[in-house]
């Protein structure tokens, strides 16, 4: 297994592989840390809402120790067992601290889309969608918006 050599939190001081045959590393830096998970494996193992909660760094998904590190534990029983955490504890944490993720995994068809506003002289509302075959596509609103506020208003009004 490849060991990560960089992190979004700074230079890695220690990296521990959580389960011997899984590409999941708990890393610590001088100030912070979290989980780094190899992209190809995570793409196969984690739900789209779980992947959306991470930060990408090269070919690694990063889950910050103070924010969303419990998501990989919730999504993979072997990781959960390696940390000796039970489902009830994780469920309480997710409901309280990551309610958007919790709702998305409880109602996956309602939360399949994420939204972004792009600017190239005009404001465009773009929906990213992961199709059932795993392919990700962008659906762009057919007309541009005059302001970022107008795009956000449309985003709020059209959220599934």
**Distance from C-alpha of 143 to C-alpha of 23, rounded to nearest angstrom:** 43
**Distance from C-alpha of 123 to C-alpha of 154, rounded to nearest angstrom:** 11
Mind listing the pLDDT tens digit of every residue in the chain (160 residues)?
789 999 999 999 999 999 999 999 999 999 889 999 999 999 888 888 888 889 889 899 999 998 899 999 999 889 988 888 888 899 999 999 988 888 878 754 443 445 566 667 776 666 665 555 556 666 666 567 677 677 666 655 544 3
**Residue 130, strand partner residues:** 136
Find how far residue 110's CA is from the centre of its chain. 17
Whether the Cβ atoms of residue 42 and residue 51 lie closer than 8 Å to each other: yes
CA dist 69 to 16, 19, 160, Å?
15, 15, 26
């Amino acid at each position: 297994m490849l060991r990560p050599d960089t992190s979004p939190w700074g230079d890695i001081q220690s990296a521990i592989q959580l389960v011997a045959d899984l590409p999941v590393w708990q890393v610590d830096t001088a100030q912070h840390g979290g989980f780094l998970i190899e992209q190809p494996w995570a793409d196969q193992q984690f739900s789209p809402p779980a992947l959306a909660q991470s930060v990408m760094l090269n070919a690694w998904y990063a889950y910050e120790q103070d924010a969303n590190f419990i998501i990989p534990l919730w999504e993979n029983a072997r990781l959960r067992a390696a940390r000796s955490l039970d489902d009830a504890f994780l469920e309480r944490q997710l409901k309280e601290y990551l309610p958007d993720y919790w709702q998305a995994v409880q109602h996956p068809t309602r939360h399949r889309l994420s939204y972004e506003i792009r600017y190239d002289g005009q404001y465009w509302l773009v929906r990213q969608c992961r199709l059932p075959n795993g392919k990700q596509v962008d659906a762009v609103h057919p007309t541009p918006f005059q302001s970022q506020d107008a795009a956000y208003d449309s985003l709020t009004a059209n959220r599934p």
